[in-house]
Amino acid sequence: MKGIIFTEFLELVEDKFGFSVVDEIIEQSELPSEGIYTAVGTYNYKEMVSLVMNLQKQTDIPAITLMEVFGEHLFSRLAKLYPVFLNGVEDPIKFLMSLEDYIHVEVKKLYPEAELPSFDTELQKPDQLKMTYHSVRCLYPVAEGLIKGCFKHFESEVQITKNMITESGNKVEFIINKL
Ligand code: HEM
């Protein structure tokens, strides 16, 4: 997982809970990287899972909620860091439809070592999109947060229904309704 995802995560944790919590979760996670991340480096995604689990312990907030909130915040950061992907796009559904075949493809060209999920995307009605998340990393709550962050960016309301296709969460269907 790219360092930028870790640096954004730790900045958000510091913002919401303070530096002492950042320090404690790094300490408790026993990370191979020792919690030293550079934006361009690549680290095992399991470090993120450990950090989130320890943040859950520290805050008593469920890990799923923490990941969703992070995903929502992450969208606004990605939109600032890679504005090119939003250029000329006026609609969150159109944007999400370009994720699998354009945005993540370009991300992979920029960072060949990036580990990206894949999505099956199907427009069911003009305002209803079905997106099925596939990834061995099972970070579907981050995906849900990113979808919410995307609608927020476009100042649009959304209602999302999540169907767990597998118990592990490596395959999750999102029915996304633009309100
Ligand atoms: C400007 C838009 C976006 C950019 C530039 C972007 C880029 C990236 C990057 C750099 C990573 C990290 C890859 C790695 O660490 O190896 C990533 C991961 C991920 N992206 Fe995107 N992304 C964007 C939008 C989205 C949206 C809207 C969704 C959800 C529908 C999404 C879902 C995910 C998920 C869930 C991961 C975590 C990896 C996994 O689950 O396997 N991304 N993306």
Do the domain assignments include residue 67? no
Residues 171 and 132 in one domain: yes
Q: How confident is the model at residue 16 (pLDDT cuts 50, 70, 90)?
A: very high
Average pLDDT of the residues in 89-103: 96
20 C-alpha to ligand 1 centroid (Å): 28
Instruction: Indicate if ligand 1 lies below 6 Å from the C-beta of 19.
Output: no
Instruction: Indicate if ligand 1 lies below 6 Å from the C-beta of 158.
Output: no
Residue 94 is predicted with a pLDDT of: 96
57 C-alpha to ligand 1 centroid (Å): 26
Residue 151 is predicted with a pLDDT of: 98
Nearest to 14 by CA among 53, 47, 50, 58: 58
| pLDDT of residue 73 exceeding 90 | yes
Nearest to 153 by CA among 104, 80, 100: 80
Nearest to 151 by CA among 67, 64, 91: 91
Residues 167 and 109 in one domain: yes
Residue 7 is predicted with a pLDDT of: 97
Do the domain assignments include residue 128? yes
Residue 82 is predicted with a pLDDT of: 95
Atom 25 of ligand 1: nearest residue by CA position: 146
Residue 64 is predicted with a pLDDT of: 98
Q: pLDDT per residue over 18-63, tens digit each? A: 999 999 999 999 999 999 999 889 999 999 999 999 999 999 999 9
Do the domain assignments include residue 86? no
The span from the CA of 130 to the CA of 54, in Å, is 32
Residues 102 and 174 in one domain: yes
Instruction: List phi, psi (to 5°) of 51.
Output: -60, -45
Instruction: Indicate if ligand 1 lies below 6 Å from the C-beta of 175.
Output: no
Q: How confident is the model at residue 72 (pLDDT cuts 50, 70, 90)?
A: very high
CA atoms within a 13 Å half-sphere pointing along the CA-CB vector of 54: 19
Atom 4 of ligand 1: nearest residue by CA position: 78
Do the domain assignments include residue 111? yes
The CATH number of the domain holding residue 153 is 3.90.1520.10
Residues 46 and 98 in one domain: no
Residues 120 and 164 in one domain: yes
For the record, the structure tokens of 149 come out as 């962050």
Do the domain assignments include residue 27? yes
Residues 55 and 102 in one domain: no
Residue 40 is predicted with a pLDDT of: 85
53 C-alpha to ligand 1 centroid (Å): 20
| pLDDT of residue 118 exceeding 90 | yes
Number of folded domains that form the chain: 2
Residues 157 and 95 in one domain: yes
Q: Which helix (H) or strand (E) holds 128?
A: strand 128-134
- 80-88 long-range contacts, CB within 8 A, separation 24+: 81/4, 86/153
Instruction: Indicate if ligand 1 lies below 6 Å from the C-beta of 99.
Output: yes
| Ligand 1 atom closest to the CA of 79, numbered from 1 | 1
Instruction: Indicate if ligand 1 lies below 6 Å from the C-beta of 138.
Output: no
Domain extent, residue 15, equals 3-61
Q: How confident is the model at residue 161 (pLDDT cuts 50, 70, 90)?
A: very high
Distances (CA, A) of 138 to 10, 78, 116, 148, 171: 20, 20, 11, 18, 8
Do the domain assignments include residue 42? yes
The residues near 61 (Cβ < 8 Å, ≥ 6 apart) are 55
Residue 173 is predicted with a pLDDT of: 98
Could you identify the residue written with the tokens 């990941």?
67
29 C-alpha to ligand 1 centroid (Å): 23
The span from the CA of 168 to the CA of 133, in Å, is 12
